[in-house]
Amino acid sequence: MFTWHEYPNAAAAAQALADDVAAVLRKALAEKGSAVLAVSGGRSPIAFFEALSRQDLDWHKVGITLVDERIVPTGHADSNTGLVREYLLQNRAAAAEWIPMVEDGKSEIELQPEAALAYALKHYKQPDALVLGMGGDGHTASLFPQAPQLEAALDVENAPALVHTTPVTAPHERISMSLGALLNTPAVYLAIQGAEKKAVFEAAAAQASRTYPVSLILNHEGANCHVFYAN
């Protein structure tokens, strides 16, 4: 299920989310000596990344990875890896360990989905916390409503932690955490902003449906999901 947190603007939401995520990471560090955080890409999380990067943590004991990634070279404009390096692996967080999803130095031709997925699975570490976004179609991570691999990715009994997905409504083949891996994460955050996203969220929160993949987290009894909303 989920807990709702509302803020007057994006800056306030980003700072509050950074404070909350940092507290979860500190708890994991205290309990087991290490922590892993998975984050999402796009432009929306940049303010959160910058706020989190300044948090006082034992960053050298923290691993940072992605919830999902486009299968493109890491220097590509659409690479989530590049975004995280530019905005999160800075300041104090520059000391964190990067857990890759796509191999550096590979060309677009070399990055075939099967090989890319195998590389990502080899490096995968189960997160202690993750931060999701949500698209206007109700997708989260790269679990898109019309992706041909969606059913397999939602199979919590059989899907691996990471899966390959092909969005019908967005560019690039993807690697994404599966629904099972998302639900196995102790602390899940969903960051959304604006009236349009709120309307989609409310439709998804009403009932679990493959029409809105995010709804399968919001309506799952075992999920510890905190929704951070900015007007």
Q: What is the pLDDT of residues 34-61, one digit of tens each?
A: 999 999 998 889 999 999 999 999 999 9
The pTM score is 0.96
The answer to whether the beta carbons of residues 179 and 142 sit under 8 Å apart is no
Helix (H) or strand (E) holding 130: strand 129-132
Residues of the chain with pLDDT > 70, as a percent, come to 100
Average pLDDT over residues 126-130: 98
Question: Which pLDDT does position 13 carry in this prediction?
Answer: 97
- Residue 124 pLDDT grade (very low, low, confident, very high; cuts 50, 70, 90): very high
Q: What is the pLDDT of residues 191-211, one digit of tens each?
A: 999 999 999 999 999 999 999
Question: Which pLDDT does position 42 carry in this prediction?
Answer: 84
Average pLDDT over residues 103-113: 95
Q: Which residue has the tokens 């995010």?
A: 214
Average pLDDT over residues 117-123: 98
| Maximum pairwise Cα distance, the chain | 45
Q: What is the pLDDT of residues 135-168, one digit of tens each?
A: 999 999 999 999 999 999 999 999 999 999 999 9
- pLDDT of 67 over the 90 cut: yes
153 alpha carbon, distance to own chain's centre: 15
Domains of the chain: 2-230 (3.40.50.1360)
- pLDDT of 1 over the 90 cut: no
Instruction: Return the half-sphere exposure (C-beta side, CA atoms, 13 A cut-off) of residue 13.
Output: 23
Q: What is the pLDDT of residues 209-218, one digit of tens each?
A: 999 999 999 9
DSSP-assigned letters across all residues of 39-56: E--SSTTHHHHHHHHTS-
**Helices (H) and strands (E) in the chain — how many of each?**
8, 10
CA angle centred on 160, ends 43 and 96, rounded to 5°: 45
Output the average pLDDT for the chain: 96
- pLDDT of 92 over the 90 cut: yes
The DSSP code for 228 is E
